[in-house]
Structure 1
Amino acid sequence: MLWLSQKRQTHTLSLTHAVLKQAEAKVPFPLGFSDLGFPLPSPSSSSPLQPRNTAKKRERMVGFNMQPYGIQSMLKEGHKHLSGLDEAVLKNIDACKQLSTITRTSLGPNGMNKMVINHLDKLFVTNDAATIVSELEVQHPAAKVLVLAGKAQQEEIGDGANLTISFAGELLQGAEDLIRMGLHPSEIISGYSKAIKKAIEILDELVGNGSENMDVRDKEQVISRMKAAVASKQFGLEDTICSFVADACIQVCPKNPANFNVDNVRVAKLLGGGLHNSTVVRGLVLKSDAVGTIKRMEKAKVAVFAGGVDTSATETKGTVLIHSAEQLENYSKTEEAKVEELIKAVADSGAKVIVSGAAVGEMALHFCERYKLMVLKISSKFELRRFCRTTGAVAMLKLSQPNPDDLGYVDSVSVEEIGGARVTIVKNEEGGNSVATVVLRGSTDSILDDLERAVDDGVNTYKALCRDSRIVPGAAATEIELAKRVKDFSFKETGLDQYAIAKFAECFEMVPRTLAENAGLNAMEIISSLYAEHASGNTKIGIDLDGGVCKDISTMSIWDLHVTKSFALKYAADAACTVLRVDQIIMSKPAGGPRRQEPAGGMDED
């Protein structure tokens, strides 16, 4: 009996100990535990035990606390939410700084190249910021704002994308310093807005005298304005490239220069030789030979067929049962007669040149030769559209008799040999559709691609000249003068935004500092010398990268377009203010579908 009593006491103590441990762990008790006769403990009361109904209330409270609260209760599982200075603002600034660091080392004539391999395994070796950021596929939402600003600059002007992205990153770096000093982002935005307005006013005052009345058909003046843009892509070759581009642009410039179309200056890239073998051809150059024996035609009407020049085929397979040789001969004659009828109808319409967007059948080519029709094949649909725009023709879907309104006109079509390659030159000077082609020669595809980007920058600069020919000093002379005057403007402000205006002025030093660093010069000495010269009133003193000294840019003929500079500064300031206005980032969970199968290397999407 004594042994049984001790065993019951031990069992009672063990149960009490288990109850107390479960209460401390705040775990709801299982139903039926209180049926043993023990009251439930309460960790919040002085007594270790509590009634049964209190335990049920506690069970409900524990279940309620497990529910999400705040913004988490509104969004799906897997979302991301960042807020506050540390999580949102400063992280956004850091992402933008990383992007601007990539492009800044490519700024200026001594900028370094970047080797970019995109998702299609295509290789890009270039220092063109627009190409770099478009192939990087940036994912960070704040950095995308800078990418969009650079693309807007490239589409609007055609040059200055690097300045836009690099200057925006420098502004955000200055904003980070001000935030850590204690300024609120709204005060920084207010200061930056005042500073950019003042900077544009100062930029208008720095315009060269008489530059607004420039003759866009004067080759020497065009080259002097174009040289800075081309030198940033191909330093040392700018004189040769600018001469080609100026010739091509002046040849196709309409009576009203404001109507200049950049698509009227084309680029044809032919492997082999060097830049000194390049030339400018008056007309559209197709990198293909004519189909057939007729290689030249003058003052001819043109018929364009996008679907090819061949016998029509049914969409489904069919079987023809032939019982004799006579039936086989009649079948072939019927097919030949049908093709001849179509080709004769084209010839009777007055067309002397047929352009096919697809295959040219042997039988159709035979009858084209019989009726003295010249046949060209253009596989690229973009090149075909350009040919139609040049000649005024309308592309028809299938081979049929064209209407008079569908026919185009060319002054001459001829096959010539350039550098061992046979090309077709299409000339048409009527109707304002004159086209010029810069034929570039180079040893590798990468060199040709980079030369093409330099030519594109030159053509876009010419278009900007036709729009607004005003120029400002280059070689960082304008940026130092802006920094000096905006800094003086900040001293006149009395609010906290004066610190933001002063920081905006300091950000202009990024341009001379980067130019000096990329050229291997001492940036601090260059900037100090520039400030000293500009303080004495020499507003045209810039950096001579060849001599490593400060020099009057008018003697070096280095000018930047006013419209390029003003748009770049505006886009950069707008992008920086947009990033600073963001205080929360809310991203939903990415779609969970299967990943799209990537095409094989070297293939491009239509």
Structure 2
Amino acid sequence: MAGQYGGQPVIIIDPSKERTTGKDALSVNIASAKAVASIVKSTLGPKGMDKMLVNVIGDITLTNDGATILQEMDIEHPTAKMIVEVASTQEKSAGDGTTSAVVMAGALLEKAQELVGLGVHPTVIVKGFSMASEKSLQVLKDYAIKVDRNDREALKRIAMTSITGKASEMANDHLAGICVDAILAIEQDGKVNIDDDIVIAKEVGGTIDDTELINGISIRQEALHPEMPHRIENAKIALIDTELNFGKTSTKSKLMVDRAEQLQEFKEQERANFRNTIQKIIDTGANVVFCSKAMDDYALHFFKEAGVYATRRVREEDMLKLTRSTGASLVRNVQEMTADDLGYAELVEQEDLYEEKTYIKGFRDAKTMTILIKGGSEHVTDNIERVFDDALRVVKCVFEDGTIVPGGGASEIEVAQKLRAYASSVEGREQMAINAFASAVEEIPRTIAENCGFDAIDILLKLRASHGSMKHAGLNVETGDASNMYEMGITDPLRVKTQAIKSATEVATMVLRVDDMLRAREKAMMDVAPEHNIHNYDMSGMGM
């Protein structure tokens, strides 16, 4: 950008920058946001379609989870990245509803673009959207239904609503039951820590119905000697984070000897020192040893003789799980080890002598549960893992908040109708923005209907007509009729709905406030002589 001063051009903005202003900037930003929303739109609802994501090495991800789809996509446009952040925020805050939040954000911006075309200033639209958002949150709060956090059936219905359309329909009841049992098992004072207290493990083999909940944790390890005990009650657990190998010092050294007896004496002394190291572990009272690194047969012999269960090369993530669950400390210097470094579990057991799996159960200060997912292929277990991630978090929301709302589009129809009634009491052009907000909210039941193969307009009209006499009327995806969603057990956490409205409104208003975009143009690498091109250098002698 340049101006004139005294007949001389004055450059204000670097001409290498790409600039878009006014309605052009707004149109570009809205178009990119709508493009992102259109990608995940077809996945919304119990009849939504799946997306196949293939990375550069050919690994495949099959999912209809909006957050996963958007995270895996390589998005360049800055506004599109803002929409992806909406999904991320929704996932962190509520655990589900990411697709709804993104679709609603796209719909809000589409309606805003129509208003701008009619001459409504973006600032007025932003104000109207903010008013509509506050009113929507109040409507949802009044519309919400209180539930007892210990009502297992209510929690199970929430889990099933989240799972439906994401996993095998035949296993919905089984998976939902596992979610609820896991949440109820780890709750402490009305709060749930899913990230630390629930471990999700995957195992290819069997069917989804074989997925199980384990009271404790399991690791893919086995006793290193058949004569070691395979069941230890009141386990005192040592977690060793260093090698337990004999005959190799950690530093370079030379030994000068002048007769064969001296070498033999040195070896005997070295063997005695190593035995003292193993004895140091045993003397602390440890009867179970998990080592993250190598452990030679000489060490195994001592542990076997002492009746200690021992295993080696335990994965780092499993060591961290054991640290938190059992209370044991990671020991890197055995010579400084004490009984205070040991952890505790009621039982350590390798149930099947021919299976590489050890169960650690019954912790003193931690409530840790493991969901062991089983399926016929890796793609199946990966998808079920994403299902559990969403379902556990929505059950957590209801357990902690104690409030639900009817699903199937019923909540959105309630909000839209109350917003239109509210808009009639607002003077000025903000009324137009509030009505546009109501139409954008209805994009959720409209999209669900489309993904079920129904006529969206007919469904919306049917839901609006039924809502007056049936407060919880939503779309029955099997028949296309308006049915009572609460009686059908189709419910969502209140937090999921409120967070979706908050996130969608925030990103829409942020985009509407932008009227000037400056982007640096991509610059090509300057031409260089072939002999100076970095790809022609021999890097073999440069330590790379």
TM-score, normalization by structure 1: 0.81
- Measured against aligned partners, the alpha-carbon deviations of 1:349-369 in whole angstroms (never above 9, x if no partner) come to 111111112222222222222
Match of 2:421 among 467, 483, 488: 488
8 Å CA contact 2:223, 2:311 repeated in 1: yes
Aligned partner of residue 351 in structure 1, secondary structure: coil
User: Is 1:71 matched with 2:4?
Assistant: no
- Measured against aligned partners, the alpha-carbon deviations of 1:302-358 in whole angstroms (never above 9, x if no partner) come to 111223333485566555566665444334323321221011011111111111122
Instruction: Read off the aligned partner of 2:12 and give its amino acid letter.
Output: G
Q: 1:589 to 1:394 in 2, by over 3 A?
A: farther
- Measured against aligned partners, the alpha-carbon deviations of 1:385-432 in whole angstroms (never above 9, x if no partner) come to 1210000111122433422332211111111249x843111112322x
8 Å CA contact 1:244, 1:280 repeated in 2: yes
User: Is 1:340 matched with 2:275?
Assistant: yes
Instruction: Read off the aligned partner of 1:167 and give its amino acid letter.
Output: M
d(CA) in 1 for partners of 2:194, 2:209: 27
d(CA) in 2 for partners of 1:129, 1:95: 17
Q: How does 1:80-479 map to 2 (within 5 A)?
A: 80-86=18-24, 88-119=25-56, 121-208=58-145, 210-211=146-147, 214-216=148-150, 218-234=151-167, 236=169, 237-254=171-188, 256-293=189-226, 294=228, 295-311=230-246, 317-318=252-253, 325-377=260-312, 379-417=314-352, 421-431=355-365, 433-479=366-412
d(CA) in 1 for partners of 2:10, 2:293: 62
8 Å CA contact 2:199, 2:370 repeated in 1: yes
Instruction: Read off the aligned partner of 1:169 and give its amino acid letter.
Output: G
Aligned partner of residue 276 in structure 1, secondary structure: helix
Aligned partner of residue 287 in structure 2, secondary structure: strand
Shift of 1:259: 4.6
Aligned partner of residue 329 in structure 2, secondary structure: coil
Shift of 1:124: 1.3
- Measured against aligned partners, the alpha-carbon deviations of 1:176-220 in whole angstroms (never above 9, x if no partner) come to 111122111111101100000010111111112x42xx033x422
d(CA) in 1 for partners of 2:498, 2:97: 10
d(CA) in 2 for partners of 1:515, 1:447: 25
TM-score, normalization by structure 2: 0.89
User: Is 1:586 matched with 2:518?
Assistant: yes
Aligned to 1:23: none
d(CA) in 1 for partners of 2:59, 2:223: 31
Aligned partner of residue 111 in structure 1, secondary structure: coil
d(CA) in 1 for partners of 2:121, 2:129: 13
d(CA) in 1 for partners of 2:265, 2:17: 72
Aligned to 2:538: none
d(CA) in 1 for partners of 2:282, 2:429: 79
d(CA) in 2 for partners of 1:325, 1:79: 80
- Measured against aligned partners, the alpha-carbon deviations of 1:538-564 in whole angstroms (never above 9, x if no partner) come to 111111112222211133111111111
8 Å CA contact 1:311, 1:339 repeated in 2: yes
Instruction: Read off the aligned partner of 2:225 and give its amino acid letter.
Output: G
d(CA) in 2 for partners of 1:490, 1:299: 66
8 Å CA contact 2:344, 2:363 repeated in 1: no
Shift of 1:116: 1.3
d(CA) in 2 for partners of 1:198, 1:373: 65
Shift of 1:478: 0.8
Aligned to 1:549: 481
Shift of 1:114: 1.0
d(CA) in 2 for partners of 1:323, 1:79: 79
- Measured against aligned partners, the alpha-carbon deviations of 1:195-246 in whole angstroms (never above 9, x if no partner) come to 00010111111112x42xx033x42222022221121422613212101222
Shift of 1:172: 0.9
8 Å CA contact 1:195, 1:486 repeated in 2: yes
8 Å CA contact 2:406, 2:491 repeated in 1: yes
315-324 or 354-363, which deviates more: 315-324
Q: 1:564 to 1:92 in 2, by over 3 A?
A: same
373-382 or 571-580, which deviates more: 373-382
Aligned partner of residue 430 in structure 1, secondary structure: coil
Shift of 1:489: 1.4
- Measured against aligned partners, the alpha-carbon deviations of 1:249-282 in whole angstroms (never above 9, x if no partner) come to 222333x122544432222211111112222221
Shift of 1:289: 2.0
The unaligned stretches of length 5 or more in structure 1 are 1-60, 598-606
Q: 1:110 to 1:400 in 2, by over 3 A?
A: farther
d(CA) in 1 for partners of 2:98, 2:57: 24
Instruction: Read off the aligned partner of 2:179 and give its amino acid letter.
Output: V
d(CA) in 2 for partners of 1:286, 1:219: 29
Instruction: Read off the aligned partner of 1:391 and give its amino acid letter.
Output: T
d(CA) in 2 for partners of 1:80, 1:307: 56
8 Å CA contact 2:45, 2:165 repeated in 1: yes
Shift of 1:593: 9.9
User: Is 1:576 matched with 2:474?
Assistant: no
- Measured against aligned partners, the alpha-carbon deviations of 1:464-502 in whole angstroms (never above 9, x if no partner) come to 123201011111111111111111211221111111111
The unaligned stretches of length 5 or more in structure 2 are 527-533, 536-544
Instruction: Read off the aligned partner of 1:562 and give its amino acid letter.
Output: L
d(CA) in 2 for partners of 1:132, 1:399: 47
Shift of 1:96: 0.8
**Larger Cα-atom Rg:** 1
Aligned to 1:540: 472
